[in-house]
Homo-oligomer: A and B are copies of this chain.
Amino acid sequence: MGNLEIELPSWAFGNSGTRFKVFGTPGTPRTVQEKIADAATVHQFTGLAPSVALHIPWDEVPDYRALRVYAEDLGVRVGTINSNTFQDDSYKFGSLTHLDKKVRRTAIDHHLACIEVMNATGSADLKIWLADGTNYPGQGDIRDRQERLAESLASIYEHIGDQQRMVLEYKFFEPATYMTDVPDWGTAYTHVAALGERAVVCLDTGHHAPGTNIEFIVAQLLRLQKLGSFDFNSRFYADDDLIVGAADPFQLFRIMVEVIRGGGLDDDSGVALMLDQCHNVEAKIPGQIRSVLNVQEMTARAALLDSEALAEAQRAGDVLGAHDVFMDAFYTDVRPRLAQWRAERGLPEDPMAAFARSGYQQRIEAERLEGTQSGWGA
């Protein structure tokens, strides 16, 4: 538990919404610096979130070295660099998979530029999530698109530094409605396995078909040594991007059990935990605080699991006994001991209440009046 770190996405502090409406809120950051300041605030109140993921071009700045210093001065560092190949008009029919070589080249070059950002900011991971896909049967050639994807990824991977990683994310559907080019962990896995050691998979907890056993995939990718990172969030229906743990805390617990079981929290594991959420109707900074606390709580419950008692019940074929050992860890209220953990570190025992009392929200609402609020999507 001591080394639990959860990366925050810069875009969680900007406005977000659905295709129907994006609501604005007072105090929303207008610059990447303001997003980083908000993220640093989450870290200050929780002690759990020492890095911030950036999204290019949303977080483009002229001087990335200065941005790095800015972040470090606030006590956080720049984390994963996320590329974006879904908002240019040229990407209407794909990016790394596009039929037109020129569009693919543009998309590849964008990733090379992201690697430059990594070099300047000290970021170790390039995360690739593709909106590539098709809406109608017949619209694209599934097979050819895979070949072009493999080729494009290889072109990018060549430029990944020795201490850097390429992290490939998969997604079941959306924005494409018929086929996405990297729909499942199997596809992401076969691509990164073909590339090499520094290519790994990102598992976004909201990107699966209904009923998918996500902790199985966690266990499998850890077994195959290809689980690079998590994008945490939760969902009831589609890719809802709700606060992690909000929709099904028991699922988050099961996932953390497998992460621990597979060594994912060990010092050298290389598994990065990141949030990827939207705060469409709730407050953003407290939303992020709640999220990192949820991950911490479920990790703490998972850490309580009595592995020996569990193994013994499993060996005995005692289904109910094993299940009871499992549930006992989940049902134990860890909040008091986490409050103590925080107190010992000079952190507020109740980060949500402490933030509310801090006046930070009132201050940014007063200060951030002009300019355009950050956002994503359309």
For A236, what are the chain B residues with a Cβ–Cβ distance below 8 Å? 173, 177-178, 211, 213
Q: Is the CB of A20 within 8 A of B86?
A: yes
Residue A21 CB within 8 A of the other chain: yes
Q: Assess whether B290 is in contact with A320, with CB atoms less than 8 Å apart.
A: yes
Indicate if the CB atoms of A99 and B314 lie closer than 8 Å: yes
Please tell me which one of the listed residues B175, B209, B333 contacts residue A333 in the complex, with CB atoms under 8 A apart.
B333
Give Cα A297–Cα B251 distance, bound, in whole angstroms.
19
A242 partner residues in chain B, CB cutoff 8 A: 135-136, 177-178
**Contact indicator B177/A131 (Cβ below 8 Å):** no
Q: Are B177 and A378 in contact (CB under 8 A)?
A: no
| Contact string against B for A residues 123-164, beta-carbon threshold 8 Å, 1 for contact and 0 otherwise | 000000001000111111111001100000000000000000
In the complex, what residue of chain B is closest to A190 when comparing beta carbons?
Answer: B224
- Given the contacts A186-B220, A223-B143, A290-B320, A282 and B136 also touching, CB distance less than 8 Å: yes
Contact of A135 with B311 in the complex, beta carbons under 8 Å = no
Closest residue of chain B to A136 (Cβ to Cβ) is B323
A21-B87, A281-B92, A378-B377 known; A219 and B325 CB under 8 Å?
no
Minimum Cβ distance to chain B for residue A276 (Å): 13
For residue A76, CB closer than 8 A to chain B, the reply is no
Contact of A183 among B216, B254, B332 (CB under 8 A): B216
Q: Are A213 and B258 in contact, with the CB atoms below 8 A?
A: no
A284 to chain B, nearest CB (A): 10
A73-91 CB mask vs B (1 if < 8 Å, else 0) is: 0000000000000110100
Given A139-B323, A146-B219, A183-B216, 16 other A-B residues pairs in contact with their CB atoms under 8 A: A18-B174, A19-B377, A20-B377, A21-B131, A23-B89, A135-B242, A135-B319, A137-B254, A139-B322, A140-B322, A141-B314, A142-B261, A185-B186, A248-B251, A249-B250, A249-B330
